[in-house]
A and B are shown apart, each in its own frame.
Chain A
Amino acid sequence: MKRKQSKKYLALQKLRIISQLAFFVLFFILFMKTHYGGADYLTITVERYFHFDPLLALTTTIGARLFFAAFWLSLITLTFTLIFGRAVCGWICPFGAIHQFFSFIFKKTRWLKPKRDDRLSLAPKYIILIIILVASIFAVNLAGYLDPLSFLYRSFAVYITPLLNMAFSQSASLAYGLGLESFGQTLGQTLGNLALNSFFQNALVIGLLFFAVIALNAWKERFWCRYLCPAGALLGLFSRFNLFKLSIDPEKCTNCHLCSIQCQTNARPYPADEWRSSECIYCETCAAICPTAAITFPLRWKPEKIQGVNLSRRKILLTSLTTLLVAPIFKITPHRQRAYPALIRPPGAQPEEKFLNKCIKCGECLKVCPTNGLQPALTEAGPEGIWTPVLVPRIGYCEYYCSLCSQVCPTGAIRELTIEEKTTVKIGTAFVDKNRCLPYAQGRQCLVCEEHCPVSPKAIQTITVETLTPGGQVTTNLAPFVNANDCIGCGICENKCVVADKPAIRVSSIGEQRTKKTGFIL
C-alpha cells in the first residue's frame, strides 16, 4: 500500500485555516472599528455578522413576535447549511477559530492535551438549543448567553478591551520611562484615539467564563463546538443534504482510525456509514491526515439523517416540558411591575418588555460607549436582564452628541437614533441630595454639575441657599436646582460630582420617556 497523504485535501485544509484566520481578523477589525472614529455616524455596519446568525434571528423573531429586517441574512447561512452542512462552523465562525487554535496549541503540549475518548454525549448542545427555543416562546430571551457570536463579542468587549487598554497604557508609561519620547507619544495618542473602555462591572464572571470555555479545550478538542454551542446545534439540525459526503475507499483504508482520533468535532469519519454528518464541520482534517488518502468528500445527492447523537424523543420532550415550567420563573419579578432606579437604559432603548425580548447581551453597545458608562447589568434589570446594558453614571455619562449605541445594536433593542433625536431623549432624571451637596450641606461653593449640564437652557439652574455653619455664621452660596422637565438624565452631573463615592446629584430612571410607567411629574 502506497503511503501518501492527499495533496488536494492538505491544500483544502490550509485554505480552511486561511479562511478562519481571515474571518477572525475581520471580526477583530470590526470590533476595533466599533468606537467613535471621528464621525457622528459609523460608516460601516460593524454589527453585520450578527445578522447572519440563524439562532439569534430565530429566537429574536419568536421572542419579540417581530421580524427584524436585517435578519434575512441568516437565511443565507441556513440555505448554505441546508446544502453544504456545517461548513460555517469550520470555516467562518470566529469563535470556532479561537477554539480550534487553542485545541491545536493544547494538543502540542503534554499537560493540556485533550482526551481522545468519544464517550461524552454530543447531546448537550441540542438540549441547550431546545431550552433557548422553548424559552423564547415564553418571551424569555436566553439566546445571548450562549450564542457563540454574542458570547465572543461580549467577552471581547468586557475582558479583552480592558486588557488592551492596560497593555497600551503600560507600554506608553514604559516607553516614556525609558526616554523613548516619540514612541511613548505614538502609543499614548493611539490610546486616546481608540478610547478603550477599561472598567466593567461583572467583568469577573464574563471574563472567567470566557477563560473557562477556552480552557475546556484541554479536556476535549473544540469542547464548545462539540458540546455547548446552540448555534452549531441549530445548523446541525439544518444540515440535511451535505452535498459533499464523506467516503472512504476500502481499497486504500488501513483501518488505522487516525481520522476518527483526529476529528475535531467527534463526527466519527470511520467507519464511513457511521459518519455523523450533522457534526461534521468540513475542516478537512480527516481527509488531509489520512496516510493513504482514502478519505474523500465526493458530491452526492442524498438527504442525511442525524445520527450518532444520543438524543431521544423522550429527552427532547422532557427538556421542553421542564423549560415550559421553568421559563416563567424569569417573569416573576417586580421589575416588570414598576420602575427601578438603577435601570437607566441607553437612549433609544425600546420599552422594557420589548427591549428584553430583543437584547442579545452581545456587548456592542458596551464596546462603543465613549465614556464607558454602559455596563452589563447584574440585578438592575431583574433575572431576564442579566448583562443587558445599563447606564452607570458614576462610571461614565451619556455623551450629549452621541448615538453610537443605537447605531450598533444588531437587533433593534436600541432603536437607531439621529444625533438630533438623541439630544431630546430623556433616559432618567437627576436629583440633588441636599445632605451631601456642598453648598447645601457644607456651605461651600461648587456648582460643578451646573457647569456640565449640556442642555440649553440648563436643566440645572441655580438658587441661592443660606447654610448655617457651626460658628453660627451663615454662608450664602449658589446651589443646584434640577428642572426635572428639562433634564434628559445623561448623568454627566453625577459623573463629575466631587462627592465621588455616592454623588450628591444622582440620576435615576424615573421620568424616562420610553414608558409611561416611570412618569412622575404631571
Chain B
Amino acid sequence: MERREFIKGLVIGSVAIGFSPSLFSQSGYPDLVVVTGESPEKITREAVELLGGIRRFISRGDKVIIKPNIGWDRTPDMAACTNPEIVKTVVSMALEAGAKEVIVMDHTINQAKRCYIRSGIQAAAQSAGAKVLLTEDQRLRKVNLKGEWLKEWEVFVDFLEADKIINMPATKVHSLSKVTLGMKNWLGAIGGSRNQLHQKIDQAIVDLSAFFKPTLTILDSYRILWRNGPQGGRISDTKLMKTVVAGTDPVATDAYGATFFDFKPQELLFLQLASARGLGKLELEKVRIEKKTV
C-alpha cells in the first residue's frame, strides 16, 4: 500500500467514524422519546422520527426481526399483548427504510396460533408486509448467554440470524418482577424450561437483556395493564395512556415504563442489576428525554 493511499484511507475513515450514528446520537438525538396522541400510528411514527428516523436504525437490505409481546390469547383491548397497529406501523417503516425482510415472531404461552390471531398482530403485521412466523422447536439452538445466572440456554435461531432486532414490548404489571416491559420481553425469544426462570426472575431478565441487543426498543403504552398482570382479562384491568416510549437504551426505556405504575426505577431489582451490569441508564434524570403530543 502506498503512503498516499494510506493517508487517504485514514482521512475517509476518520470522517466516517465522526459521522457514525452512535456518536451522532450523543450530539443530536434524545435517548428516549415519549409521544402521546390519539393515533397509534402517528405517535409511533413521530417517536421514531424524533429518534432520528427509521433510516438511522434500519439499512437497505437488512433482515429485521420484530419481537412484540404476543404471549397471551387476548384481544388488543385487554392490553396483554402489544398493540397491533403499532406493530403494523413499525413493520411498514422498516420496509420503507429498505429492509429486505421483516419477521414478526414471539414464543407464546397459550396456543401460538390463537395468540397470533386474537391479539390482531398476525393480521396487522401481514397486511403491512411482514412475515409472521410461529416459533419452531427445530429452530432452537443452544447458546452460551454468558449471563451471571443463565449460562447455556436454547434461543430461537431467527433472532440470531437477523441483522437488526426491534423490541416491541407491551406495558404491564407482573407479580414477581413487578413490571414486564422491554427487558422481560426476551423470555419470548427463547425455548427451554422457561418456567424455571421465575426462581431468579430479575437475574434472568438481565442475563437475557445482556444477550439480546435490540437496535431499538419501542414500548407500547397505548393501553397499559395495571392489574391482574401479565394477562389481565377485563377492560377494567387496563388504562388508556395513548403513549409510545421509544429509545436505544433498553434500561432507560424500562425505567420510564415503570413510572406508568408509579414505581421508581430504583425500586425494581432488575433495573438495578441491569444498570450495575452496564446495560444502560436507570436514573431518568440523567437521560435525555423528549416528550411530545401529536
B259 contacts chain A at the CB level, 8 A cutoff: no
Interface size class of B (residues with CB under 8 A): 20 to 34
List the one stretch of A304-312, A337-345, A445-453 in contact with chain B: A445-453
Task: Provide the bound-state CA to CA distance between A195 and B113, in Å.
Answer: 9
Contacts of A452 in B (CB 8 A): 109, 231
| Nearest CB in chain B: distance from A491 CB, A | 13
Contact pick for B233, options A173, A445, A455, A498, CB 8 Å:
A455
B26 contacts chain A at the CB level, 8 A cutoff: no
Which residue of the partner chain A has the closest CB to B201?
A: A445
Contacts of A424 in B (CB 8 A): none
Task: Provide the bound-state CA to CA distance between A193 and B201, in Å.
Answer: 31
Residue from the set A188, A446, A447, A451 with the largest chain B CB neighbour count within 10 Å: A451
List the one stretch of B9-17, B27-35, B190-198 in contact with chain A: B190-198
B213 contacts chain A at the CB level, 8 A cutoff: no
A400 contacts chain B at the CB level, 8 A cutoff: yes
Number of A-B contacts (CB under 8 A): 90
Contacts of B73 in A (CB 8 A): 399-401
List the one stretch of B61-69, B134-142, B243-251, B271-279 in contact with chain A: B134-142
Contact status B136-A446, CB under 8 Å:
no
Contact status B118-A401, CB under 8 Å:
yes
Q: Which of B107-138 contact A (CB under 8 A)?
A: 109-114, 117-118, 133-138
Contacts of B200 in A (CB 8 A): 445
Residue from the set B111, B135, B196, B200 with the largest chain A CB neighbour count within 10 Å: B111
A515 contacts chain B at the CB level, 8 A cutoff: no
B174 contacts chain A at the CB level, 8 A cutoff: yes
Contact status B195-A457, CB under 8 Å:
no
Q: Which of A420-450 contact B (CB under 8 A)?
A: 438, 444-448, 450
Q: A181-212 CB contact bits vs B (8 Å, 1 = yes)?
A: 00011001101110100000000000000000
Contacts of A458 in B (CB 8 A): 228
Contact status A454-B233, CB under 8 Å:
yes
Contact status B175-A450, CB under 8 Å:
yes
Contacts of A462 in B (CB 8 A): 175
Contact status A36-B195, CB under 8 Å:
no
Contacts of A51 in B (CB 8 A): none
Contacts of A399 in B (CB 8 A): 73, 110-111, 114
Contact status A497-B195, CB under 8 Å:
yes
Residue from the set B118, B174, B233 with the largest chain A CB neighbour count within 10 Å: B233
Contact status B231-A454, CB under 8 Å:
yes
Contact status B113-A38, CB under 8 Å:
yes
Contacts of B139 in A (CB 8 A): 176, 188
Using A450-B175, A451-B230 as known contacts, say yes or no to A169 and B138 having CB atoms under 8 A apart: yes
| Nearest CB in chain A: distance from B175 CB, A | 6
Contact status A185-B133, CB under 8 Å:
yes
Contacts of A445 in B (CB 8 A): 176, 198-201
Contact pick for B198, options A36, A184, A446, CB 8 Å:
A446
Contact status A400-B133, CB under 8 Å:
no
Which residue of the partner chain A has the closest CB to B237?
A: A456
B169 contacts chain A at the CB level, 8 A cutoff: no
Task: Provide the bound-state CA to CA distance between A410 and B147, in Å.
Answer: 53
Contacts of B111 in A (CB 8 A): 36, 195, 370-371, 399, 402
Contact status A498-B136, CB under 8 Å:
no
B234 contacts chain A at the CB level, 8 A cutoff: yes
Which residue of the partner chain A has the closest CB to B161?
A: A181
Task: Provide the bound-state CA to CA distance between A454 and B200, in Å.
Answer: 23
Q: Which of B215-234 contact A (CB under 8 A)?
A: 228, 230-234
A496 contacts chain B at the CB level, 8 A cutoff: yes
Q: Which of A466-502 contact B (CB under 8 A)?
A: 478, 496-498
Contact status B138-A176, CB under 8 Å:
yes
Which residue of the partner chain A has the closest CB to B136?
A: A188
Task: Provide the bound-state CA to CA distance between A446 and B197, in Å.
Answer: 8
Task: Provide the bound-state CA to CA distance between A188 and B193, in Å.
Answer: 21
Contact status A185-B136, CB under 8 Å:
yes
Contacts of B193 in A (CB 8 A): 498
Task: Provide the bound-state CA to CA distance between A185 and B157, in Å.
Answer: 12
Contact status B175-A451, CB under 8 Å:
yes
Which residue of the partner chain B has the closest CB to A194?
A: B113
A172 contacts chain B at the CB level, 8 A cutoff: yes
Contacts of A444 in B (CB 8 A): 199
Which residue of the partner chain B has the closest CB to A35?
A: B113
Which residue of the partner chain A has the closest CB to B180?
A: A451
Contact status B233-A448, CB under 8 Å:
no
Contact status B233-A456, CB under 8 Å:
yes
Contact status A188-B196, CB under 8 Å:
no
| Nearest CB in chain B: distance from A500 CB, A | 8
| Nearest CB in chain B: distance from A426 CB, A | 16
Task: Provide the bound-state CA to CA distance between A347 and B110, in Å.
Answer: 18
Task: Provide the bound-state CA to CA distance between A111 and B228, in Å.
Answer: 66
Given contacts A38-B117, A185-B136, A188-B136, list 8 more A-B pairs with CB under 8 A: A169-B138, A192-B113, A192-B135, A370-B111, A401-B118, A456-B228, A456-B234, A457-B228
**21 A-B residue pairings within 8 Å (CB atoms):** A169-B137, A169-B138, A173-B138, A188-B138, A192-B113, A192-B135, A399-B73, A438-B199, A445-B176, A445-B201, A448-B195, A450-B175, A451-B176, A452-B109, A455-B233, A456-B233, A457-B228, A478-B176, A498-B196, A498-B198, A498-B199
Chain A residues within 8 Å of B, Cβ to Cβ = 36, 38, 169, 172-173, 176, 184-185, 188-189, 191-193, 195, 370-371, 399-402, 438, 444-448, 450-452, 454-458, 462, 478, 496-498
**Smallest CB-CB A-B distances: 6 pairs:** A456-B233, A192-B134, A188-B136, A448-B195, A370-B111, A456-B234
